[in-house]
Structure 1
Amino acid sequence: MATAQLYCVCRQPYDVSRFMIECDICKDWFHGSCVEVEEHHAVDIDVYHCPNCDVHHGPSLMKKRRNWHRHDYTEPDDGSKPVQAGTSVFVRELQARTFPSGDEILQQMHGSQVTQRYLERHGFRYPIAVHKMEGLGLRLPPPDFSVKDVERYVGGDKVIDVIDVARQADSKMKLSAFVKYYYSPQRPKVLNVISLEFSDTKMSELVVVPDIAQKMSWVENYWPDDSYFPKPFVQKYCLMGVKDSYTDFHIDFGGTSVWYHVLWGEKIFYLIKPTSANLALYEEWSSSPSQSEVFFGEKVDKCYKCVVRQGTTLLIPTGWIHAVLTSQDCMAFGGNFLHNLNIGMQLRCYEMERRLKTPDLFKFPYFEAICWYVAKNLLETLKESREDNCLPPEYLIKGVKALITALRNWLKREVTEPASEVPDHIRPNHLIKMLTKEIQYLEVSQTLMKSQGISACPSTRSAHERGSYARRTARRLHDQHHHHHHHSHSPKAPSNLDIFEQHTQEVLKRLEMGPYEGDASFNLKVNGKFNKVSTASAAVAVRSLDNDLRLVLCNGRIIRADMLGNNLRLCVCLKCTGLKLNHVCSESATSPSTEEDAIQGMLSMAGLLYSHPIQEHKNFMDSQGSGSNSSSEAWSSHTHSPAHGKSPTLGYQYCETSLSPPLHPSKRPASNPPPISNQATKGKRPKKGMATAKQRLGKILKLSRHKPFFCLSQCLSQPPPLCIFGWPLLLF
């Protein structure tokens, strides 16, 4: 086996990760660190002599400077070639230019105002300036933190990317070498450090990113711990620039939003709106061979100048085109984050990077992989919104549509470019199909609501958070019920009633204020759907129920609760419970026992006992026949009638829900049956109103194992053909 060829004075094999330089005399190769030649110095050497050849041939020969306005300063200055970005002449001309003030577009805010709730409501479309850290959740080293301190925490041997500003070229050097350069009395070059990510160093403990960047970040919220791909670290950057450092116009990788905080010194930002016209001009300018010779700020209608001084934090939204000038020695901290507010723009910026063939070094790490993870999580969010009978925010619907298009295109591209970033545990085609179905459902819902003049109830993150625990609990209990049903014959297996009761108890314990409390749009939606209830009568009913707790149940969940006293008012959909009533509301004679069963059954399902079912049922029927315009009014007069002789707060008592399985309605026994021996009664006559109510509930309700208890959304879109007491919803 051949021995690997050795190089340099250290006699080590070739290492692609280390900078090397060739001696023009002996033609041998040397590591720059071994012969004390930095990578950014190599371009200044015309003829290089290694340490061995230096003894006989003298020192290396350096290039001669012939201009101050070109990246290649050896070009003769004949006055015909334009100034290029980053050169000393360019910086002087830039400082002499006039620009519209950044105050025209900057949103001046206090740290406590920059919240996720605010951005979700008002959008994140313009830069935000915060002049004090208080309230941002940002934690940084003190203002006297120095470049030497950075070396102490990060380590001098860490290799960092450094920009030679005059040439706008990137090179690598050790942090210790940059610190030595920074403190040198004379700086032969302008070097700028803008990409020192320190999340994996001790300095990370000194910095806590702003709350808004943590709470909205895709990586922080959606990146799984068991991912095959390494987690992207783009949240903590330290920027160290000397005076006259300049970064030309760019969009942050992947269309990420960015936060900057100037610890000391000063930076000047030149900001351009990401309009369609400006983005098209930017892509054209970026792909031009004369890019460095054209100042992009002159190609657009407006370029704003924003001075960021010590102690100021600047947040730049997705897609904003910006350049940065360091007007004096400066240290700043910053970070990038993807989020849900501007998904379409983020994807547009990523596709632009692909068309421009941006090197992977300057792209967001595993951008496509994080998009797949986000798509999976957003699918759950859309499902929860549908279950809550609410429309997600418009920005999220638009973002998911853009994401679906991008995911489809990436799958098609896999045929010709097999560089997949699809996570192993994600079924891409199935995920796209399910997302498309959810979007189609939302579009149908939007059309239906607009045609009927119904405003959608708001779907905010806080509402989702309040309901998520209840949803998970209900699903877990429901899954446990099915598991026991299929795999166990134990008589203690929980029934549907147990699931409903336990869920209701947990919600009531946690419930301080319902997510839709005081939501006029929800009341308008329900009351406006059924023609038999007018807005005025509904308002009267609400005012009259000053001692009640009113619950609205949908899919077996409490979606609205108004705590107005000690009583409970339930709004229950009869159609979706599977209740079989033979046109009780028709002119034919109704069955009191059937109606009584319905009332007792519904109260029993809620875990409540109706104290005087027959008498109060008659009163309720009398009020129905008295010509009242709505069942709400009838109920109001019924519950608050002095004829009852007692306070309405004593009308119900809580009772435990039976574990007995529901019986088929055809097996309903005669009224007042003799004692029978079964699981529910254990050979004794059941107490009136307790086991009897539960048995009657089982007789009346034939609950399907695969259908939810209540489905208010179905009744909103398709009023049931069968009703009780002339009204599709019973109010208890």
Structure 2
Amino acid sequence: MAPAQLYCVCRQPYDVHRFMIECDICKDWFHGSCVQVEEHHAADIDLYHCPNCQPIHGPSLMKKRNNWHRHDYTEVDDGTRPVQAGTAIFIQQLQDRSFPSADVVIVPMQGSHVTQHYLETEGFHYPIMVPDLDGLGLKLPPPSFSVRDVEQYVGGDKVVDVIDVARQADSKMKLGEFVKYYYQPARPKVLNLISLEFSDTKMADLVEVPEIARKLSWVENYWPDDSFFPKPFVQKYCLMGVKDSYTDFHIDFGGTSVWYHVLWGEKVFYLIKPTKANLALYESWSSSANQSEVFFGEKVDKCYKCVVKQGTTILLPTGWIHAVLTSQDCMAFGGNFLHNLNIGMQLRCYEMERRLKTPDLFKFPYFEAISWYVAKNLLETLKELREDKCQPQAHLVEGVKALISALKTWLRRELTEPTSEVPDNIRPSLLIKELTKEIRLLEEDPSRPVKSQGITESPPPRSSLERRRQVRRHSHKLPSNLDILELHTREVLRRLEVGPLEEVRAACLNGKFKKIFAPSAVTVKKGSPDNALRLVLCNGRIISEDEVQSVKQRRKGSGSHVAGHTRHGQNHKPLKRYHAQSLLSLKGFCAPSECPTSPSTEKTLQDMLSLTGLMCQQTPEEGTVSQEAWWSTQAPQVGSPGEEHLYRDSSLSPLLHPTKRQTHNPSPISNQATKGKRPKKGMATAKQRLGKLLKMGSHTRLLV
């Protein structure tokens, strides 16, 4: 691996964090700090000669000034180019302009009156000016605090961003170098320092943020100590500007509100309301190629002038467009904070920054992350208010709605952008869903008393619904003990897919049992309450459970007609002759033609029902029904001993899915009678019909 290339007189590799300048003679690169060249000075050098080349080629050549109204002062002044913001001509013209007084939009207040309750009640939509520190909870150094004192507390080696006002360009320099520049008797240019955040320095102990800013701040109230993202430090800034320093129209990053206090000197604010029209004009102006040549204050209907004198504090609400002129040397303190009063406007400003492709350096740090934290906390707030039967304030409801919309947008954006500011301990989709639910509950009936969390009606869990279905499904069944065979029988009946009940003739068999039926392919009618099956023997007939209930009602009604449960309007009556008649309709299963059964069928059906746990004794009295537990009567031996395994293994072994069970060459499911001569009505015996039915479905989970 080749060694890193070395540069400068110090012979060190390239460092991206240090300013370097190239020699136009030897083409070597040098650190500005090594050759005593400040970054803002480099813009004034036409040809640079390094210390090694100066003895031979002489000192560096500086650019020649040709104008005082353009950022590039080397342009030839032909009188056709417009004035650009920040230049000496621009500052002179700005001071000569006339503006409406900001008294019509400024709210003068005493510090003790600027409370959270006041702002939540009256809103925070207009700038507030406080003439002194009393009641604000703002702690500051004395007015004698100087620029050198700042260097002492912060450190002269701290690198700061300064603005070359005439070029409206940023550059970096050490704080110590700025202090030297500040105390020069004749300053070669106008430099403005407005981004010195000192929360991590010794000077932080000298300044306490106004109480109202601390109470409203998202960072102070919602940022968790264990956050993966570093905590944003935007609460404490020191602004040191020389006379004629100017900052063009802007909205503070992330739509933050801002507090300013002029310790000494004077600041002039040019204020514009954040109306929809003005914000649209601002975005268009910010993205235009000739932005610096157009004074934005002339594009809107009203631009107000507000002079902030020494000892005065001003609070600017979210979204206010403003420019600042330092009319005399000035030191001011300020800070930015996000809050719940204007969430929608803050989000609108943030999205505008994204559209304008604002560099991250000039955006609120981790704006989306703090918004997720706020959403999580606001959800808890809404729940607590609902439990306390209190309605949230209107600004909070509107803010949560705007926040929900923004969170959805950011979540969709995560699919295409690799960077993510969603905290690890937050489930974004669930959070959005719960916030939406809380808002929906508020909008359904905002005047009604809000129930507590514990009794709020909500869809029951799946297990509860299933239990309710089971209760409804089995509420009409006759009671039975849950023994092994009974459980097995219920499982078989539950898995059987049964269509609507139709009255069909059942077949009977004296002795042999084959394998159980397989479900057919006919679709079950939707909405069927249950696929389970229970047959009851009543006076020589196999009847359904509904008919059992009808018989019971008949007993109670002393022989009255059973209504609504008989087939074709017929009543149950005792039959002199035993007829095995079923109300079962299997899927893909056609009932044979009606035919009388032999008298010996009764014993066979008794045996069949006892094996399936559906034993029911025929009572001697008319219309009576009694049921006997399956274990009370032993089933008679059916079939020959060699055939016992045909039903014993299949009925008591664990159930398997039909696709996983072994097949024993089952017969086709189609009706075998169609392949030969169909027996005439009354000719086939019940034994033959039942045997044929059993063969047709050897995989059915019903054993009859």
- The alpha carbon displacement at 1:3 in A equals 1.3
Alignment of 1:311-460 (within 5 A): 311-446=311-446, 449=448
SS at match of 1:254: helix
In structure 1, distance between residues paired with 2:100 and 2:164? 29
Q: Could you say which residue in structure 2 is the equivalent of 1:310?
A: 310
Q: Could you say which residue in structure 2 is the equivalent of 1:62?
A: 62
SS at match of 2:445: helix
In structure 1, distance between residues paired with 2:407 and 2:76? 51
Q: Could you say which residue in structure 1 is the equivalent of 2:287?
A: 287
In structure 1, distance between residues paired with 2:390 and 2:366? 33
Task: Provide the TM-score with structure 1 as the length reference.
Answer: 0.61
Quick one: which amino acid aligns to residue 229 of structure 2? F
Quick one: which amino acid aligns to residue 116 of structure 1? Q
Alignment of 1:703-714 (within 5 A): none
In structure 1, distance between residues paired with 2:201 and 2:381? 35
In structure 2, distance between residues paired with 1:33 and 1:93? 37
Q: Could you say which residue in structure 1 is the equivalent of 2:156?
A: 156
In structure 1, distance between residues paired with 2:389 and 2:112? 32
- For residues 301-343 of structure 1, what are the alpha-carbon distances to aligned partners after superposition, in whole Å with 9 as ceiling and x for unaligned? 0000000000000000000000000000000000000000000
- For residues 178-218 of structure 1, what are the alpha-carbon distances to aligned partners after superposition, in whole Å with 9 as ceiling and x for unaligned? 00000011100000000000000000000001000101000
Q: Could you say which residue in structure 1 is the equivalent of 2:107?
A: 107
Quick one: which amino acid aligns to residue 8 of structure 1? C
Q: Could you say which residue in structure 2 is the equivalent of 1:706?
A: none
In structure 2, distance between residues paired with 1:388 and 1:276? 37
Q: Could you say which residue in structure 1 is the equivalent of 2:278?
A: 278
Give aligned pairs, total.
455
Q: Could you say which residue in structure 1 is the equivalent of 2:80?
A: 80
Task: Provide the TM-score with structure 2 as the length reference.
Answer: 0.64
Q: Could you say which residue in structure 2 is the equivalent of 1:42?
A: 42
In structure 2, distance between residues paired with 1:389 and 1:117? 20
SS at match of 1:329: strand
In structure 1, distance between residues paired with 2:233 and 2:329? 26
Q: Could you say which residue in structure 2 is the equivalent of 1:94?
A: 94
Quick one: which amino acid aligns to residue 16 of structure 2? V
Q: Could you say which residue in structure 2 is the equivalent of 1:552?
A: none
Q: Could you say which residue in structure 2 is the equivalent of 1:214?
A: 214
- For residues 570-607 of structure 1, what are the alpha-carbon distances to aligned partners after superposition, in whole Å with 9 as ceiling and x for unaligned? xxxxxxxxxxxxxxxxxxxxxxxxxxxxxxxxxxxxxx
Quick one: which amino acid aligns to residue 188 of structure 2? P
Alignment of 1:689-728 (within 5 A): none
Quick one: which amino acid aligns to residue 189 of structure 1? K
Quick one: which amino acid aligns to residue 403 of structure 1? L
SS at match of 1:297: helix
Q: Whose radius of gyration is greater, 1 or 2?
A: 2
Quick one: which amino acid aligns to residue 346 of structure 2? Q
Q: Could you say which residue in structure 1 is the equivalent of 2:117?
A: 117
In structure 1, distance between residues paired with 2:134 and 2:243? 29
Quick one: which amino acid aligns to residue 349 of structure 2? C
1:21 aligns with 2:17: no
Quick one: which amino acid aligns to residue 314 of structure 1? I
- The alpha carbon displacement at 1:2 in A equals 1.8
Q: Share of identical aligned residues, percent?
A: 80
In structure 2, distance between residues paired with 1:228 and 1:396? 27
In structure 1, distance between residues paired with 2:188 and 2:388? 65
In structure 2, distance between residues paired with 1:37 and 1:162? 15
Q: Could you say which residue in structure 1 is the equivalent of 2:138?
A: 138
In structure 2, distance between residues paired with 1:207 and 1:98? 36
Quick one: which amino acid aligns to residue 295 of structure 2? F
Unaligned runs of 5+ in 1: 458-470, 475-732
In structure 2, distance between residues paired with 1:30 and 1:228? 38
- The alpha carbon displacement at 1:4 in A equals 1.2
- The alpha carbon displacement at 1:417 in A equals 1.1
Q: Could you say which residue in structure 2 is the equivalent of 1:193?
A: 193
Quick one: which amino acid aligns to residue 303 of structure 1? C
Quick one: which amino acid aligns to residue 291 of structure 1? Q
1:31 aligns with 2:18: no
In structure 2, distance between residues paired with 1:375 and 1:225? 17
- The alpha carbon displacement at 1:445 in A equals 2.3
- For residues 504-545 of structure 1, what are the alpha-carbon distances to aligned partners after superposition, in whole Å with 9 as ceiling and x for unaligned? xxxxxxxxxxxxxxxxxxxxxxxxxxxxxxxxxxxxxxxxxx
In structure 2, distance between residues paired with 1:142 and 1:391? 45
- For residues 370-401 of structure 1, what are the alpha-carbon distances to aligned partners after superposition, in whole Å with 9 as ceiling and x for unaligned? 00000000000000111011110000000000
Quick one: which amino acid aligns to residue 51 of structure 2? P
Alignment of 1:572-611 (within 5 A): none
In structure 1, distance between residues paired with 2:30 and 2:122? 58
In structure 2, distance between residues paired with 1:394 and 1:233? 30
SS at match of 1:142: coil
Q: Could you say which residue in structure 2 is the equivalent of 1:670?
A: none
In structure 2, distance between residues paired with 1:156 and 1:56? 35
- The alpha carbon displacement at 1:12 in A equals 1.0
- The alpha carbon displacement at 1:413 in A equals 0.7
In structure 1, distance between residues paired with 2:358 and 2:245? 22
Superposition RMSD on alpha carbons, in Å?
1.6
In structure 2, distance between residues paired with 1:140 and 1:16? 37
Quick one: which amino acid aligns to residue 2 of structure 1? A
In structure 1, distance between residues paired with 2:37 and 2:100? 44
Q: Could you say which residue in structure 2 is the equivalent of 1:165?
A: 165
In structure 2, distance between residues paired with 1:240 and 1:172? 15
